[in-house]
Amino acid sequence: MHRLLSLSLLLPLAAQEVPPTLKPVLDMIQADNAWTLEQQTSICEIPAPPFKETVRGVEYAKRLKSLGLVDIRTDAEGNVISRWPGSTVPKPLIVFSAHLDTVFPEGSDVKVKRSGTLMTGLGIGDDCRGLAVLLATARAFQKHNIKFAGTVLFVATVGEEGQGDLRGVRYLFEKGEYVGKVDAFISVDGAGARATSGGVGSNRYKITYRGRGGHSYGAFGMPNPAHAMGRAMARIADIQVPKSPKTTFNVGTVTGGTSVNSVPIEVSMEVDLRSESPLELKALDERFRAALQGALEAEKARWPESKALLELDVKSIGIRPATEASDAKPMAKTAMQTAKAVGLTVFSTGSGSTDSNVPLSLGIPSITIGGGGAARGAHSLDEAYDDRADGYKGPQWAALLVATLAGLAK
């Protein structure tokens, strides 16, 4: 509560209009749109697979430096952090960010193809667009000597995508030097005029059933880990979840066993549970665990004479907290108003699974916005970004939102 109040007190600009100081900034972003797209392409052609964002991070740090950012460093997790110079007070502290990583493995072809306003390439929208938006914004702020009242950090995070499990943003808010200090968080992720003010929570598990194993014929008559896991999957598949708040489950990978004529020693599955609502996620998690345990017991009960062991191991491989979305949040309102001021109509996506999840779960006003233009096929080999006629409105929106939250220096 205290944080929301303090944020509403630090909105010195009227968000629905563009202050005269910022007009030339927005004009420059529009006029130099080609520069923004060139940044988007060239940063995207540096591979950044999960856990291997360093090369792209080093280049990004260089570009931030050339655009006037100061105190540039890479923290212990790999996030590239920089500060806009000349803030007059440390507070409010605004983090303006995009993510470096992609979902694509090492060795993928990262060449970007371009035809008119359409660009095709791995990660071109998610999140090379966000990275380019930060650079375009910095360049226009630099050119027009913009100084903020508060402090603005430009941050490129690592590990936003699935396997990374938000490790970059987690480090920033849970371990790094800014723990407890950030007043507002903006992530530019992907394209479009989207705003995501809530976080979809997810619990991910690697589930393993283990037994003694043996010959399929000779040792028949003992609990079978694969059969136990099959029972678990059938139970999971029958779990009823609400449509709204959206709540989902998925058995995503299944592995194990050694040969067709062996009772497996071990089988595993990876499962993803998600919900927009913290309560529904908790309820789903409990039903899921009951299904796992029930399956274990049913498989043991099937072979009452057998003394062979059967074990269940539940290992958490990622927890993302859920936070309810609301357009009534001051941050969501400010985002809507600033979008309107640059001529964008924002569509609210409710909850997402992005870097904002972590600060949102800590009660810090946060939003994930699109970078303008339009994108399709995120995380696919056909990923494309179309700048259309007004892609520049994305960085304009971001610039106005940052300036509104940080306030302009007198």
Residues that bind Zn ion (CB under 5 A): 126-127, 189
Q: Are the CB atoms for 217 and 125 separated by under 8 Å? A: no
87 vs 353 by CB, closer to Zn ion: 353
198 vs 264 by CB, closer to Zn ion: 198
123 vs 391 by CB, closer to Zn ion: 123
Residue with tokens 């050119």: 143
Q: Are the CB atoms for 390 and 372 separated by under 8 Å? A: yes
Residue with tokens 């923290």: 75
What is the spatial distance between Cα 22 and Cα 396, in angstroms, rounded to a whole number?
A: 10
CB of 18 to Zn ion, least distance (A): 28
What is the spatial distance between Cα 191 and Cα 130, in angstroms, rounded to a whole number?
A: 8
Which amino acid is it at 409? Answer: A
**CA torsion through residues 386, 389, 392, 397, sign:** negative
What is the spatial distance between Cα 98 and Cα 156, in angstroms, rounded to a whole number?
A: 5
Residue with tokens 């929570």: 201
CB of 126 to Zn ion, least distance (A): 4
Q: Which residues of 253-278 are buried (b: 16+ CB within 10 A; e: fewer)?
A: eeebbeeeeebbebbbbbbbbbbbbb
What is the spatial distance between Cα 151 and Cα 70, in angstroms, rounded to a whole number?
A: 12
75 vs 126 by CB, closer to Zn ion: 126
CB of 290 to Zn ion, least distance (A): 34
CB of 370 to Zn ion, least distance (A): 10
What is the spatial distance between Cα 326 and Cα 187, in angstroms, rounded to a whole number?
A: 17
Q: Are the CB atoms for 21 and 103 separated by under 8 Å? A: no
Tokens (6 digits) for 237: 């598949």
What is the spatial distance between Cα 149 and Cα 92, in angstroms, rounded to a whole number?
A: 8
CB of 127 to Zn ion, least distance (A): 4
99 vs 210 by CB, closer to Zn ion: 99
CB of 99 to Zn ion, least distance (A): 6
CB of 216 to Zn ion, least distance (A): 45
CB of 190 to Zn ion, least distance (A): 6
Report the SS3 class of residue 250: strand
Tokens (6 digits) for 174: 């849970």
CB of 220 to Zn ion, least distance (A): 49
CA dist 94 to 82, 139, 149, 331, 406, Å?
Answer: 12, 18, 11, 12, 6
Give the DSSP per-residue string, 236-248: HHT----TTTTEE
127 vs 280 by CB, closer to Zn ion: 127
CB of 161 to Zn ion, least distance (A): 7
